[in-house]
Structure 1
Amino acid sequence: FISAFSLAGFPPLSGFWGKFIVIKASLQTSDYLLAATALLVGLLTIFSMSKIWNEAFWKKPTNDELESKALSRAPLYLYSLPIVMLAALSLLIGLVAEPFYQFAEHAAQQLLVPDAYIQAVLGGAP
């Protein structure tokens, strides 16, 4: 549930800030088609994720699926701990987005002006 809503860009999850920055920048540059596309993609994402969710968790299992699940039953913590940790990380990134944004901004600047990177890697003038 949390990962689906994060992909769609719902606040306060991690996907919200990326979608917010794209929509804000597109509105500032009067690129309304890009803003509408970003919103439409969020809507389609939540639609598709809800279909996947229903298929994976609410569909009645077949006899073959029941037999294979009975043979491979793992302890609860082996599959619930990673899910809980990733959901908590998504929530943390959504609530404390500034450090992640600053890191992404710094990386983008290095991609746009690669001189310092080239000098650090190759050791000479670019």
Structure 2
Amino acid sequence: MTHSDRFSGTRVLIVEDEFLLAEETRLKLEALGATVIGPTPDVDEALEYLDTTQVDAAILDIYLTGEFVFPVAERLQDMGIPFVFASAYDAEIIPSRFEGFVLCEKPFELEKIAQALFASAQRDH
């Protein structure tokens, strides 16, 4: 079993403003058996999804058109939902309160993202 197999049956929020990258990630996740929430390029819409939809994990682009995704990361952290930052930006841009959340570079490598998202769950078993 690969790490990415663990996406099967999960509900994954994608917050990404590059349409083609978001769409490619959606298709790959769905092929692995995940239900994709979004994708959305918008912080407010992502927060609305978190208020109205069950989410098990999230993949976040750091900088969306004109805004940082950190309010979404804060909400996910408060809710105890695992997430990773997926961005071309340097890790230094991430506030220290998010230390421990993995930065995966674009293009997304779902195996690395799965390993990061599900590492704590694996340690719990």
Normalization by structure 1: what TM-score?
0.26
Q: Mark the structure with the bigger radius of gyration.
A: 1
Kindly indicate which of the two structures has a greater share of residues assigned to helix.
1
Return the TM-score normalized by structure 2.
0.26
Higher relative contact order (CA 8 A, sep 6+): 1
**Which has a greater percent of strand?**
2
